C-alpha cells in the first residue's frame, strides 16, 4: 500500500467481505462441511460474495459431510472447545491480517480472550536445541511471564517447550498454536504441558477440527498463525534448514504497510557458531533480524513492541 488512502480502501473492502459472510447465513456446521468437502479458505473467501447461496446449497446437499461436521462440533463442544468462524466479532482480529490465508474456523481450548491481546511475544526455535538454546527460550519467556505478558509458541519439543515452561514458571499465561485437532497432542509427551497451560489460564489453538493429525505441511502452515498474533518474534535457536525459518519468512511476508504494522524479528546472537544455531547466524549476518545477546533484558514498551536492554 502506497499511502493511507490505499490502506483505508483495502480495509473497507475487507470489511465488506466480512459483512458478506455475515449475510450468507452459512453456519459453523456448513463451513466445516465445506472444508471436509475440500474447499480451501482461499476458494471460499473468493466465492463468498458471489456464490454464497450455491455454497449453502452445496453444504445442505452433502448429507454425509454435514452430518460428520455436526458430530465433530458436538464432540468438541463436550470437550470444552470453542469454534469461532471468520465472520464473528469474537474471531481473533490478528488473523484478519492473513487475508485469504486466514483460517475459516479457529478451534480454541482454554482462555480465548488471550487471542486478542496485544502484549505478546512469539518465542520459537528448533526441536533439536542444545542447552544454550533451551536456556535462552526459557529465560526470555520467563521475563515476559514475569512482566504479565503473553508468550506464544507451538508446543513442539525443544525451544517451544522451554518457552511455554519459562512463562508458566513465572506465573504467566501462554498460547500454544498447534497443527492437529485439539483431541490430539503432538507430540504426545507434551500432554501434561498442554494440560498445565490450560489449567493456568492459557490457550491451545488450532485451525483443524478433531481427528486431524499433524503432518509437515500443517506444521509449516501453523507458523503463519504464530507470528501474526504478535508484533515481536524471537528465534531462540535454529539450524539454517528448519521449520523455524518458515516462521521467519511468514513474519516477513505478513508485515509492512499493507498489513498495518511492521513486525520486529529478533534472533539470539551466540558467541560460538555451530550447526544448531546456524540459522540464527544466517539471519543476523544478512541483517534479516535484530540481535539479542545472552543476559540482555527484554521488555515491551508502551506500544507493545519488544525493547532489548
Question: Which H, E and C letters describe the chain, residue by residue?
Answer: CCCHHHHHHHHHHHHHHHHHHHHHCCCHHHHHHHHHCCCCHHHHHHHHHHHHHHHHHHHHHCHHHHHHHHHHHHHHHHCCCEEEECCCCCCCHHHHHHHHHCCCEEEEEECHHHHHCCCEEEEECCCCCCHHHHHHHHHHHHHHHHCCCEEEECCCCCHHHHHHHHHHHCCCCEEEECCCCCCCCCCHHHHHHHHHHHHCCCEEEECCCCCCCCCHHHHHHHHHHHHHCCCEEEECCCCCCCHHHHHHHHHHHCCEHHHCECCEEEEECCCCCCHHHHHHHHHHHCCCCEEECCCCCEEECCCCCEEEC
- Both 55 and 174 in one domain: the answer is no
> Which residue from 116, 103, 134 is spatially nearest to 221, judged by alpha carbons?
103
Cβ atoms 104, 230 nearer than 8 A: no
For residue 116, the model assigns a pLDDT of 96
- Both 53 and 188 in one domain: the answer is no
In a domain, 30, yes or no: yes
> What is the count of structural domains for the chain?
2
Whole-number Å distance between alpha carbons of 110 and 231: 22
Cβ atoms 44, 34 nearer than 8 A: yes
Parts of the chain with a pLDDT under 70: 1-25, 49-50, 52, 256-261
- Both 126 and 46 in one domain: the answer is no
In a domain, 96, yes or no: no
Cβ atoms 142, 166 nearer than 8 A: yes
- Both 179 and 275 in one domain: the answer is yes
CATH number of the CATH domain containing 274: 3.40.50.450
Whole-number Å distance between alpha carbons of 308 and 293: 9
- Both 293 and 153 in one domain: the answer is yes
Three cell numbers at 141? 519467556
For residue 1, the model assigns a pLDDT of 41
- Both 121 and 39 in one domain: the answer is no
- Both 166 and 67 in one domain: the answer is no
- Both 156 and 296 in one domain: the answer is yes
Kindly report the CA angle at 176 between 86 and 201, in degrees rounded to 5? 95
Domain range for residue 243? 113-308
Three cell numbers at 301? 514498551
In a domain, 105, yes or no: no
Cβ atoms 87, 27 nearer than 8 A: no
Cβ atoms 227, 261 nearer than 8 A: no
- Both 73 and 203 in one domain: the answer is no
For residue 2, the model assigns a pLDDT of 45
In sequence order, the β-bridge partners of residue 307 are 299
- Both 122 and 26 in one domain: the answer is no
- Both 188 and 278 in one domain: the answer is yes
In a domain, 286, yes or no: yes
In a domain, 89, yes or no: no
In a domain, 25, yes or no: yes
For residue 99, the model assigns a pLDDT of 86
> Which residue from 39, 37, 33 is spatially nearest to 66, judged by alpha carbons?
33
Instruction: Name the pTM for this structure.
Output: 0.91
Q: At which of 42, 65, 82 does a domain end?
A: 82
Whole-number Å distance between alpha carbons of 143 and 148: 9
In a domain, 55, yes or no: yes
Residue with cell string 540464527:
280
Whole-number Å distance between alpha carbons of 160 and 221: 16
In a domain, 51, yes or no: yes
- Both 247 and 304 in one domain: the answer is yes
For residue 202, the model assigns a pLDDT of 98
Amino acid at each position: 500500500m502506497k499511502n493511507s488512502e490505499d490502506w483505508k480502501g483495502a480495509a473497507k473492502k475487507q470489511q465488506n467481505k466480512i459483512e458478506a459472510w455475515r449475510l450468507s447465513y452459512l453456519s459453523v456446521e456448513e463451513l466445516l462441511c465445506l472444508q471436509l468437502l475440500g474447499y480451501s479458505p482461499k476458494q471460499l473467501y473468493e466465492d463468498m460474495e458471489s456464490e454464497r447461496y450455491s455454497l449453502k446449497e452445496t453444504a445442505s446437499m452433502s448429507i454425509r459431510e454435514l452430518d460428520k461436521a455436526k458430530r465433530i462440533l458436538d464432540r468438541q463442544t463436550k470437550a470444552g472447545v470453542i469454534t469461532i468462524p471468520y465472520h464473528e466479532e469474537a474471531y481473533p482480529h490478528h488473523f484478519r491480517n492473513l487475508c485469504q490465508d486466514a483460517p475459516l474456523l479457529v478451534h480454541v481450548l482454554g482462555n480465548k480472550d488471550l487471542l486478542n491481546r496485544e502484549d505478546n511475544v512469539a518465542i520459537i526455535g528448533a526441536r533439536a536445541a542444545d542447552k544454550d538454546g533451551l536456556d535462552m527460550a526459557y529465560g526470555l519467556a520467563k521475563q515476559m511471564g514475569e512482566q504479565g505478558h503473553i508468550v506464544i509458541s507451538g508446543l513442539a519439543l525443544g525451544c517451544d517447550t522451554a518457552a511455554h515452561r519459562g512463562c508458566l514458571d513465572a506465573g504467566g499465561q501462554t498460547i500454544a498454536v498447534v497443527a492437529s485437532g485439539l483431541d490430539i497432542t503432538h507430540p504426545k509427551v507434551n500432554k501434561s504441558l498442554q494440560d498445565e497451560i490450560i489449567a493456568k489460564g492459557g490457550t491451545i489453538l488450532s485451525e483443524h477440527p478433531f481427528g486431524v493429525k499433524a503432518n509437515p505441511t500443517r506444521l509449516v502452515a501453523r507458523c503463519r498463525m504464530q507470528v501474526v498474533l504478535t508484533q515481536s518474534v524471537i528465534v531462540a535457536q535454529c539450524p539454517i534448514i528448519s521449520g523455524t525459518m518458515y516462521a521467519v519468512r511468514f513474519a516477513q511476508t505478513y508485515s509492512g504497510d499493507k498489513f498495518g504494522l511492521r513486525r520486529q524479528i529478533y534472533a539470539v546472537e551466540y558467541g560460538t557458531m555451530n550447526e544448531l544455531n546456524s540459522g540464527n547466524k544466517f539471519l543476523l549476518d544478512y541483517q534479516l533480524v535484530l540481535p539479542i545477546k545472552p543476559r540482555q533484558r527484554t521488555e515491551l514498551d508502551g506500544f507493545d513492541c519488544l525493547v532489548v536492554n
